[in-house]
Amino acid sequence: MALTLAEMAVEVLTCGDALQKVSLGRAHAAAWLASRAAGVPLAVGRAEPPLQPARPAAPELLDPRDVPRRKPGSLAGRQAMLHAVAHIELNAVDLHWDIIARFCDQPMPLGFYDDWVRAADDECRHFLMLCDCLAAMGSHYGALPAHAGMWRAAEDTMGDLQARLAVVPMVLEARGLDVTPGMIALFQGAGEAGAVAALQVIYAEEVSHVAYGSKWFNWLCGREGTDPKEVFHDLVRRYFHGSLKPPFNEEKRADAGLPPDFYWPLVEARGQGG
């Protein structure tokens, strides 16, 4: 018997080895997409995802305040920056498979699963590209400590699909669109062509992940007859810990279907200038 999509998701989530996780993720994504292309989709099915995904023994996960900071201008600083992005990508692999398994009891069109399978597959490639960049710089994923709080947004929103869409793709992944051009410039300045190329691919592809988020968020509002902007503000205020921080990448956010009146009202006024 072929695995259902939900069972595939749980296999990825419970795999603790990073390289095995991404190769399993890529194989499962290919199987799902091939079944869809052939017109005989695999069953979505039901499965129980773990509360937290399995992770490798290294990197050591630390409170962000305890993760050592390194000068961005130095080689060590650039290694640390790519290591942090690799950690975000591996977490994103789990986030996308988790949204598939976590909410499989709610009927959604098959296109919803196609989108998150594609996004998960993108994150696997992003992680592998960054591993190559780290190797070229004499480092590897696991060489440095990493941020322990990455799964918090998933835990906070495990009971609410719309809140998950609002917080993960539409807030956190949209934040990636804001900060990636600065990182690309930093690696360009250092003459690191490999890292520049990898970050440019990531930057281009992340737009679609934010777009999948806003597409299905709006779709759910349409099904329920609610106002997307009002629901977005309400859910982000309830489920996201922190305020949104400008400057925003207005152009890429617009490409991803995220209009300014969604995010500007969530900027905390007292945070400005301080």
- Interacting residues toward Fe ion by CB under 5 A: 89, 92, 123, 126, 173, 206, 209
Min dist CB 184 to Fe ion, Å, is: 14
Q: Hey, is 106 helix, strand or coil? A: coil
- Give the bridge partners for 61, in sequence order: 146
Min dist CB 38 to Fe ion, Å, is: 27
Residue closer to Fe ion (CB basis): 42 or 211: 211
**Number of residues assigned to the chain:** 274
Min dist CB 43 to Fe ion, Å, is: 26
Residue identified by tokens 């998150």 is: 116
Task: Report d(CA 29, CA 45) in Å as an integer.
Answer: 15
Residue closer to Fe ion (CB basis): 42 or 217: 217
The residues near 100 (Cβ < 8 Å, ≥ 6 apart) are 5, 6, 9, 44, 113, 116, 117, 120
Q: Exposed, middle or buried, 12 (CB in 10 Å: 0-12/13-18/19+)?
A: buried
Residue closer to Fe ion (CB basis): 22 or 47: 22
Q: Exposed, middle or buried, 229 (CB in 10 Å: 0-12/13-18/19+)?
A: middle
Q: Which amino acid is present at 254?
A: A
Residue closer to Fe ion (CB basis): 6 or 85: 85
From 38, 37, 29, 39, select the one nearest 3 (Cα to Cα).
29
Residue closer to Fe ion (CB basis): 173 or 178: 173
Task: Report d(CA 133, CA 144) in Å as an integer.
Answer: 15
Min dist CB 91 to Fe ion, Å, is: 10
- Asked if omega into 68 is within 30° of 0 (cis), the reply is no
Q: What are phi and psi of 55, to 5 degrees?
A: -135, 155
Min dist CB 270 to Fe ion, Å, is: 30
Residue closer to Fe ion (CB basis): 92 or 117: 92
Min dist CB 97 to Fe ion, Å, is: 12
Min dist CB 192 to Fe ion, Å, is: 19
Take residue 93 and report the two structure tokens written for it.
Answer: 């692999």
Residue closer to Fe ion (CB basis): 18 or 42: 18
The residues near 10 (Cβ < 8 Å, ≥ 6 apart) are 47, 48, 49, 50, 101
